[in-house]
Amino acid sequence: MGDAATPYARMVAMNAIISASELVSELAGENPPVLLDVRWQLSVAKAAGGPPFDGRAEYAAGHIPGAVFVDLDRELASAAGPRGRHPLPDVAEFGAAMRRAGVSASVPVVVYDGGQGWAAARAWWLLRWTGHPDVRVLDGGLPTWEGPLQSSVPGPALAEGDFRPMPGPAGLLDADAAAALARSGVLFDARAGERYRGEVEPIDRVGGHIPGAVSAPTNENVGPDGRFLPAEELGARFKALGAGDGSEVGVYCGSGVSGAHEVLALAVAGIPAALYVGSWSEWSSDPSRPVAVGPDPQ
């Protein structure tokens, strides 16, 4: 595990995020990246049976030229159920969706969303976990883009990609592995502190956290403009919370979306981490699993 000041950490940071100005330059280069627009928002209304946020309508109203819309709920997750609100998608179906979007193994990919970064990070994590070697998130999302926007949608002329997902042996936790990691290493809870403490729970069956997990809200990894804090600051934050000294690190959140954003922040800091995709929505759905409340991990 690298310290945030090492050349390795700087390389990881370079390969995890990209600025809007860097993206402009790369789009004009010899091997421009495929652009994926993954606008999505956590919708309490949807969880209560109401209409979800319509990212496709946002995309149609204006997107970075050439970007292809990817639906988080349908293409980056399978149907909600006992495995959580955003369980892993079927790998074959995910690969087909990425090929339809033009993703190829030899072409870099840049993912963005409306600025929060959670949905873009989910796409980044899935593509990296399934073997794509060059995926980055637009730091700060669409609000940082100062170029023109396009409202037309790529049609049948869009060339299909050749990406074939090959999930790696590491980087993914199930419920049992997350519980074990909370005892043997560092398991971060990326949700808001009040949900971790069990004071409120607007979506899932019960509030609280996995026993032994450490509260590390993902919104504390970014500045007021939505961009990530510098790698050195992120490294210092995670080290103070117990990571960065050789310990194995994992992350969970509500449903494996904001947790992916924390895994991305850890990558910027040079700290590899695994994701418990089922997260609290899976853990809390089983009444037999233990629940801790209050500010302390135990």
CB atoms < 10 A from the CB of 246, how many?
A: 7
Instruction: Determine which one of 210, 216, 243, 253 is catalytic.
Output: 253
**Distance between CA atoms of residues 5 and 182, nearest Å:** 26
Residue 194 parent element (H or E): helix 193-197
Closest CA to 39 of 68, 16, 65, 11: 68
Q: Write phi, then psi, for 74 (nearest 5 degrees).
A: -105, -30
Strand partners, 135: 109
Contact between 136 and 124 under an 8 Å Cβ cutoff? The reply is: yes
**Distance between CA atoms of residues 259 and 64, nearest Å:** 26
Active site residue 253: yes
Residue 239 parent element (H or E): helix 231-240
**Distance between CA atoms of residues 3 and 110, nearest Å:** 25
For residue 274 the two structure tokens come to 């695994």
Contact between 18 and 26 under an 8 Å Cβ cutoff? The reply is: yes
Contact between 150 and 175 under an 8 Å Cβ cutoff? The reply is: no
Catalytic residues: 253
